[in-house]
């Protein structure tokens, strides 16, 4: 058990973790190997200890984060702000791009170059897949180049969510190896399951049960990737038999904003509802996770069940984002 960020040196004497984040962009989970993941989880755990002890600390004093969100967000946006503030930094929050020059037609390239002239790091959420890479390219040879963190790019990826999900699995279960995870809901459009499944594939002996309506199945490229990494995979449209066996049930909402046809969304939105009766069928040790927001797929009555980990999962988001900000800005 760690005793805090600065009180115990687990880093080989130079005080730095081996996460390799300093000065890097965080664009995709594909950039991480297992050793780096372990280091990020360790650092995130130390951030949790640090917050419990001190509330806030000052390693990022004088640093500025530009938080640029072109899509709605509650948890990702506010946990990045809280993370920066708990590390002593400050934030330029742009949550309503309609009140920025984006509304006048400014390009993503010009917007991120502008923010890079003022800030030390950018967190970007955008509706288009690949937008974070586009923004990173715009900064690559720029005189005020700063790192960029992908906070969700359309149906593409959500790497920081995947890291906080991984932390939650580790903290709730004690280990990740040997996991049987059931991913449930909109596996086609949900970027969190795309990123998390790729990270889990780096661990040993991982089994996936992918539960979705036929039209919302996990993309075949992701399934192929999991196969290449020797993961066990079962695809089904029913929760029958899944609850009894899964160590983690990772539930997701049907992604309304990705549907062209509102009637198709209405038909699918409550394909699976987790309530007390459902939880009775699950094992006593199953961990129930959800990236939130939930829009009816988990009943409120489940919240007091100790297996419901989604509020702890949210809290972990702040710790992981503290670790990423401090790591990328070269302070740990």
Residues 239 to 278 in contact with ligand ASP, rule: CB under 6 A: 252-253
Distance of closest approach, residue 182 Cβ to ligand ASP, in angstroms: 17
Exactly one of 192, 209, 222, 271 binds ligand ASP (CB under 6 A); that residue is 192
Are 181 and 246 a contacting pair, CB within 8 Å? yes
* CA gap 8, 49 in Å, rounded: 12
8-state DSSP, 217: P
Question: Mask: binding to ligand ASP, 77-116, rule CB under 6 A, as x and -?
Answer: ----------------------------------------
* CA gap 185, 149 in Å, rounded: 26
* CB-count exposure of residue 276 (10 Å: 0-12, 13-18, 19+): exposed
Residue 152 is a binding residue for ligand ASP (CB under 6 A): yes
User: Whose Cβ is closer to ligand ASP: residue 16's or residue 97's?
Assistant: 97
User: Whose Cβ is closer to ligand ASP: residue 42's or residue 191's?
Assistant: 191
Distance of closest approach, residue 262 Cβ to ligand ASP, in angstroms: 17
* Cis ω for the linkage preceding 73 (within 30 of 0): no
User: Whose Cβ is closer to ligand ASP: residue 252's or residue 271's?
Assistant: 252
Residue 188 is a binding residue for ligand ASP (CB under 6 A): no
N-terminal to C-terminal alpha carbon distance within the chain: 19
Residue 156 is a binding residue for ligand ASP (CB under 6 A): no
* CA gap 112, 178 in Å, rounded: 41
Compute φ and ψ for 306, nearest 5 degrees: -60, -20
Distance of closest approach, residue 291 Cβ to ligand ASP, in angstroms: 4
Cα–Cα nearest to 196, from 246, 123, 248, 238: 248
User: Whose Cβ is closer to ligand ASP: residue 147's or residue 291's?
Assistant: 291
**Residue 75 Cα distances to 30, 79, 165, 234, angstroms:** 23, 6, 13, 31
Q: What is the DSSP string of 236-258?
A: ES--TTTTTT-SEEEE----GGG
User: Whose Cβ is closer to ligand ASP: residue 272's or residue 292's?
Assistant: 292
Residue 158 is a binding residue for ligand ASP (CB under 6 A): yes
Distance of closest approach, residue 21 Cβ to ligand ASP, in angstroms: 22
* Number of residues located near ligand ASP, criterion CB under 6 A: 8
User: Whose Cβ is closer to ligand ASP: residue 127's or residue 241's?
Assistant: 127
Residue 291 is a binding residue for ligand ASP (CB under 6 A): yes
Binding site for ligand ASP (CB under 6 A): 152, 158, 191-192, 252-253, 291-292
């Amino acid at each position: 058990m760690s005793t805090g960020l600065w009180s115990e040196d687990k880093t080989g004497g130079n005080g730095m973790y081996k996460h390799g984040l300093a000065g890097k962009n965080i664009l995709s989970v594909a950039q991480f190997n297992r050793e780096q993941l372990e280091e990020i989880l360790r650092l995130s755990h130390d951030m949790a200890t640090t917050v419990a002890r001190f509330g806030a600390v000052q390693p990022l004093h004088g640093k500025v984060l530009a938080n640029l969100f072109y899509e709605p967000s509650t948890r990702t946006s506010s946990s990045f702000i809280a993370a920066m503030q708990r590390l002593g930094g400050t934030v330029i929050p742009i949550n309503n791009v309609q009140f920025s020059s984006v509304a006048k037609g400014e390009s993503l390239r010009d917007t991120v170059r502008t923010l890079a002239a003022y800030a030390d790091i950018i967190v970007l959420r955008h509706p288009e897949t690949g937008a974070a890479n586009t923004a990173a390219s715009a900064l690559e040879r720029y005189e005020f180049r700063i790192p960029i963190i992908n906070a969700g790019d359309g149906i593409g990826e959500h790497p920081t969510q995947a890291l906080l999900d991984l932390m939650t699995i580790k903290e709730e279960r004690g280990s990740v190896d040997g996991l049987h995870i059931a991913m449930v809901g909109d596996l086609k459009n949900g970027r969190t399951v795309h990123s998390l499944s790729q990270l889990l594939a780096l661990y040993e002996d991982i089994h996936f049960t992918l539960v979705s309506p036929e039209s919302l199945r996990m993309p075949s490229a992701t399934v192929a990737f999991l196969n290449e990494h020797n993961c066990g995979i079962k695809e089904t449209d029913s929760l029958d038999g899944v609850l009894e066996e899964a160590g983690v049930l990772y539930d997701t909402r049907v992604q309304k904003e990705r549907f062209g046809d509102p009637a198709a969304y209405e038909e699918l939105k409550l394909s699976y509802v987790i309530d007390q009766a459902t939880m009775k069928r699950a094992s006593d040790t199953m961990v129930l996770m959800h990236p939130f927001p939930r829009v009816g797929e988990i009943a409120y009555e489940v919240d007091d069940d100790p297996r419901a980990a989604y509020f702890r999962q949210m809290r972990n988001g702040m710790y992981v984002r503290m670790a990423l900000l401090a790591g990328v800005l070269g302070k740990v």
